[in-house]
Structure 1
């Protein structure tokens, strides 16, 4: 029996608990992770992948990432992914350069997910990967792709860009494993957010690295890099990659792998991109753009301009002119939500024209763009490549058109040819070109807001040309500014501080400044020669006077005086100094100080211009103390208050007694003034009552036979009380049409009243007022 039980116990399979299952799964997962790491190192050490390897499934990538790629419909690798992924998966620094639309985004997002997965990264480990983008739209696009391919990973990801509430971002910063951000907002969180920690950072990615590392983001990136750990993996991707030793040293790269795609290609742009340029005069640019949009109304077009003010002006005016194609506009001054709305709307549309600045030139993936039109010349070839890269993405086809001024075309075409950019010249069809300048002029005339936008567009365009480094291409002195302003619908060219115009030619600031300096020097020499001739000639000014002020007063270049000074001329004087006059100013350094007045030199009344008179007055005001003066009978200016010294004041008597006398004297004067004020107030009230009574009588419309009956004595009793304090019936005027009515209307109790019968047929308003005043006196 015991043996049977024992044999049964030995044959029973072991019980596997849930804990054992979890432990087994972890061990298997760890083995897979280690295997992925070893395969990645082996792959990187073996050099570039064989050209036969094309699928993502052939790479050492986890099942979670492969599921995300399959769900997002990514199966085959592009060339940049084929060359860079083996090094990036092996945790090596990579510099990747490839044409636009070649799949650089997946080339750095897949390594981020794989490296954090191999480290079994959780929210408790903090920030593991950082992706920095130069623009908000590109950051949003990267974040969208990350969410698609990383949906099966247990990693948290966040988008940190400007234009959103900072407090909401601060609350989630400490829980993010992957951050996609712009440089400015990232630095703000580094400075302000207490829970933000980058000490465990594993991967740093710079998308459009050449743009981030240039002067525009130099200070911001330096501050960000100082807060990041030096032991990290760094991935740099761009269409035009930087190889500057200084930039690479700033990023602490360790033996980076340079992956250049399309370097051996004949051309720097996609083979399916057809590129054209057109030589257009500056005043005809908007006409040509309007004509292009009218003839391509069924296409999807991106139009690049050099400034946001130009984008706004063209958008507002073309919307009114109706080119026949839906218009959208995007620039850096728009609010974030508005830019997101425009970005999504243009992505989902099939035919529209997007007017934008270079904010949309890098990295943005707009599907099925037919044309890229560059109205303003790009600053360099790299900017040109980024702009045209919005079309012909991956294996699609596209077209581009570049407007060049006659002064820009030769040098710019030479630079493009040096970069192996195939571009052909085309000419517009004469019957297709429309004139829109008249409409723009009409819009500016009707709306002051449109006119202001046109002025700002003019100034910003001229400034953009002026600030460009390549002066062989961009020459602001050769721009026809007047014609350009007219093409925008403006009545005249706005003044630009850094560009001066003389006649029909445009002069730079330096040339114009030297010209003005020569003119001033010539005028100064001419003026000095005139002064010398005047001093040597026998004039009414004494030849012994050599002061600067006298020389100024002796000039003979004008014969008009201000009206104020003409009144001071004594025309009746027939002495030797006929036509002269003298001004006196108190405490002026040019005058005599013994009589506390200032005597200016005799000035011929016909020899002062308005400018000389103004300069003389300014000098007098500058050198004169701000003292109020009075003039005595002799015309001498003296201060209002002439103070005595203390000793002479005390000799006049006791100080307290003089103070009492002064107060008593002024108190009497104040009492007298109060009495006069009261009397004047009483008279003013009486006159007011009289005017009111006369007005009431006129309103009753009494005829000429009617008489003024009774003015009650209560009205003229001299009472100081106001009108409102008296009873209403005591202020009334009793009227009677005849003597009989007057007799019957008299009360039984006789009052002391004066009754005056007057024929009102020939009385005017003034006569009535005189009558009322007589009654007032008799009352």
Structure 2
């Protein structure tokens, strides 16, 4: 009885568990109510210094503490309280001031207060202009949100689209780039954004720029109108059109450094130096050699320049680890390079503006801008890679003499303090001859140099601010020589108004006698001495690179008159190639009337090779005529002919006369008749084949019976029986008695057959079985076995 009573007393345990769950649930509900009440009473103008003073959940506070975030920065102390209250925000602060936490903490808190779960779908969308910045934001989100139950995802290009589709529907927070997010909104059926609560744009001025304008507009069309929107950047946009596109509702403009004397951090030392374009690479190499223990970022204007400078400096071996990063690399390579540069203590990375915004590389000592930035905002973002979080950093801007006045004026308008410095001559190294030797020996490096030169010249030509970028005043010839190239490759833009007039003028007018007389008056240039670099300029190597090179440097009379380069270049500007006149009087008159007469001498016409005369109007076609393979392709394909009994040639397939065809009946009737005839022919052929097979089978059967009868009658050759062998018998005597090669010819081996019938295989097997070797006694000793073997050989 005692044991039974004890068992009854232990039963109320499940009730205790239920009480604990209800208490925990009640505690969570009370915490939510307290948070809502605290945020409603929060004074946004109050000065808050620590995260512990903010009305945030215990899970977020625990994540911030574990990630060593304790003190609020200026932008965080002003933006976070407003964001917690659900206000739309335009946040502007200097680079490295902690803008990422200013929007990540409100994202976590707002979803937590709304008790957001996986079943509610997407709650917050964070858009970044570059993949590297999106990855960095996602890593910070993982650190501070590690104790929350939200599901977060990273959606960027360069990854498997199918894997992302499978997980998109379960995500609460997404960090993405505009292009990939728009792709999912258009193509992923299970992805819904109807419940979206928050939209965040990091580096908003770049996202709202022309590069992403179409994608962002399309994304916003998919999103609900009722949402909280936050924009953050170091150089914030204030355009009313941009704000209207995003459907912002009474946004709060938060700018903590607007009244500051400088738009860049106070711990950043900014300098610029005046160096002509041909001396830039020499100055850069000398600078790197003088700072081998530093961590350096070198910004260039294009990915092709990054590749050339990286490859050439890698061959020169300055004594510091070199890396390069640009937008044309694969995603895995970009992640590997950024992680290696972040972990290194001293290295130099050559990069484009893909790393100019938002990326946090620890302990960067120098930011070198080898190419002038397109505007002051780009300059601010570039130098922001150093002097982050009140650390010390230094930046140097390389300016051509033609860029100095305009760029300094733009920086002064943006409150950027910058000082001029000079280069010590003993620190500068001349690498021009080394680059020339490298380009002469390595055609691939030479090709990279040509593409880098072309991309730089085009970037100058396409820049909007012509007060800074004066492409006609820059020494491009000297720049090409400093890169080791034997000459400046031709590029596709016009220099000056005179060239435009020549391009648009009728060619007939340009061919007038006045122009010829003026050309005769011009003195002829004196012939220069040819060097090995001139020969390299003209040579054609046996690889594909020289083909590209010859395209870029090809000089003919049309290019000299137009100022144009090769029209086959893949990324050149749109242009119309001019056709040279073929010397026909009628065509030339038409051209003069239409105002499109060709410039230059008349082209050659070569008849008789192909069906149409060949017009040789360029050097390329002249070289083509020297190739037998090219000429054979011009002749066209022959037609296959058949000959009838009388020897007349006819085409293999000839169309029948339509009237004769209709006289025999309709197409359906002729088709049915043809099918009947063919079926009868096939039946006859089938009977013939069966009869032939029966006859062959009967002949084989008769042969087999004849062979078996001959064997039974004993007509086959008798095999001699083995005799008894004496004890003193020499087994080698048999071998000695065999005929030698010169005495008797060896029998010819039977030729092997690739294919044999089943009957032949059976016959051979039967022959082998029918041969009988008779012995007097069963072999017992070794001598008996040898004698038996000798008999078999005989």
Q: Are 1:261 and 2:256 an aligned pair?
A: yes
How many angstroms apart in 1 are the aligned matches of 2:57 and 2:448? 55
How many angstroms apart in 2 are the aligned matches of 1:355 and 1:528? 50
1:79 aligned partner: 74
How many angstroms apart in 1 are the aligned matches of 2:230 and 2:645? 96
Q: Please state whether the residue corresponding to 1:259 is helix, strand or coil.
A: strand
How many angstroms apart in 2 are the aligned matches of 1:130 and 1:15? 43
Q: How does 1:750-769 map to 2 (within 5 A)?
A: none
Q: Verify the 8 A CA contact 1:158 1:179 in the aligned structure 2.
A: yes
- Give the one of 262, 276, 280 matched to 2:275: 280
Q: Verify the 8 A CA contact 2:607 2:613 in the aligned structure 1.
A: no
How many angstroms apart in 2 are the aligned matches of 1:103 and 1:529? 69
How many angstroms apart in 2 are the aligned matches of 1:38 and 1:511? 74
Structure 1 outlier segments of 4+, above 3 Å:
13-17, 515-525, 527-530, 610-618, 621-624, 662-667
Q: Verify the 8 A CA contact 2:52 2:61 in the aligned structure 1.
A: yes
User: 1:634-662: per-residue Cα shift (whole Å, max 9, x none)?
Assistant: xxxxxxxxxxxxxxxxxxxxxxxxxxxx9
1:448 aligned partner: 443
How many angstroms apart in 2 are the aligned matches of 1:274 and 1:613? 63
Deviation at 1:20, TM superposition (A): 3.0
Q: Verify the 8 A CA contact 1:37 1:90 in the aligned structure 2.
A: no
- Give the one of 137, 143, 146 matched to 1:148: 143
How many angstroms apart in 1 are the aligned matches of 2:481 and 2:512? 41
1:55 aligned partner: 50
Q: Are 1:219 and 2:206 an aligned pair?
A: no
2:352 aligned partner: 357
Q: How does 1:196-211 map to 2 (within 5 A)?
A: 196-211=191-206
1:136 aligned partner: 131
Deviation at 1:194, TM superposition (A): 1.7
2:187 aligned partner: 192
How many angstroms apart in 2 are the aligned matches of 1:623 and 1:395? 76
Q: Please state whether the residue corresponding to 2:212 is helix, strand or coil.
A: helix
How many angstroms apart in 1 are the aligned matches of 2:452 and 2:603? 43
How many angstroms apart in 1 are the aligned matches of 2:352 and 2:408? 22
Deviation at 1:589, TM superposition (A): 12
Q: 1:512 to 1:31 in 2, by over 3 A?
A: same
How many angstroms apart in 1 are the aligned matches of 2:446 and 2:372? 24
How many angstroms apart in 1 are the aligned matches of 2:177 and 2:601? 59
Q: 1:611 to 1:248 in 2, by over 3 A?
A: closer
User: 1:676-727: per-residue Cα shift (whole Å, max 9, x none)?
Assistant: xxxxxxxxxxxxxxxxxxxxxxxxxxxxxxxxxxxxxxxxxxxxxxxxxxxx
Structure 2: unaligned runs, 5 residues or longer:
1-11, 518-583, 587-599, 615-642, 649-794
Q: 1:616 to 1:314 in 2, by over 3 A?
A: closer
2:17 aligned partner: 18
Q: 1:519 to 1:66 in 2, by over 3 A?
A: same
Q: Please state whether the residue corresponding to 1:29 is helix, strand or coil.
A: helix
1:771 aligned partner: none
- Give the one of 112, 121, 129 matched to 1:126: 121
How many angstroms apart in 2 are the aligned matches of 1:232 and 1:613? 69
How many angstroms apart in 2 are the aligned matches of 1:435 and 1:623? 55
Deviation at 1:24, TM superposition (A): 2.6
How many angstroms apart in 2 are the aligned matches of 1:339 and 1:155? 28
1:512 aligned partner: 499
1:526 aligned partner: 513
User: 1:557-590: per-residue Cα shift (whole Å, max 9, x none)?
Assistant: xxxxxxxxxxxxxxxxxxxxxxxxxxxxxxx999
Deviation at 1:350, TM superposition (A): 0.6
Deviation at 1:615, TM superposition (A): 7.4
User: 1:445-489: per-residue Cα shift (whole Å, max 9, x none)?
Assistant: 111110110000000001111111000000111121111111111
Q: 1:320 to 1:58 in 2, by over 3 A?
A: same
How many angstroms apart in 2 are the aligned matches of 1:274 and 1:300? 15
Q: Verify the 8 A CA contact 1:280 1:405 in the aligned structure 2.
A: yes
2:364 aligned partner: 369
Deviation at 1:519, TM superposition (A): 9.0
Whichever of the two has the greater Rg, that structure is: 1
How many angstroms apart in 1 are the aligned matches of 2:644 and 2:354? 80
Q: Verify the 8 A CA contact 2:155 2:181 in the aligned structure 1.
A: yes
How many angstroms apart in 1 are the aligned matches of 2:602 and 2:451? 39
How many angstroms apart in 1 are the aligned matches of 2:421 and 2:516? 62
Q: 1:528 to 1:477 in 2, by over 3 A?
A: closer
Q: Verify the 8 A CA contact 2:203 2:358 in the aligned structure 1.
A: yes
2:105 aligned partner: 110
How many angstroms apart in 1 are the aligned matches of 2:212 and 2:328? 18
Q: Verify the 8 A CA contact 1:589 1:623 in the aligned structure 2.
A: no
How many angstroms apart in 2 are the aligned matches of 1:199 and 1:300? 46
- Give the one of 290, 294, 304 matched to 1:295: 290
Q: How does 1:429-444 map to 2 (within 5 A)?
A: 429-444=424-439
Q: Normalized against structure 1, the TM-score is what?
A: 0.65
Deviation at 1:28, TM superposition (A): 2.3
Q: Normalized against structure 2, the TM-score is what?
A: 0.64
Structure 1: unaligned runs, 5 residues or longer:
1-12, 500-506, 531-587, 591-609, 625-661, 668-779
Q: Are 1:96 and 2:91 an aligned pair?
A: yes
Q: Verify the 8 A CA contact 1:300 1:368 in the aligned structure 2.
A: yes
Deviation at 1:617, TM superposition (A): 8.2
Q: 1:611 to 1:289 in 2, by over 3 A?
A: closer
Q: Are 1:39 and 2:38 an aligned pair?
A: yes
Q: Verify the 8 A CA contact 1:204 1:233 in the aligned structure 2.
A: yes
How many angstroms apart in 1 are the aligned matches of 2:386 and 2:515? 69
How many angstroms apart in 1 are the aligned matches of 2:384 and 2:646? 96
Q: Please state whether the residue corresponding to 1:96 is helix, strand or coil.
A: strand
User: 1:373-425: per-residue Cα shift (whole Å, max 9, x none)?
Assistant: 00000000000000000000011010000000100001111111111110000
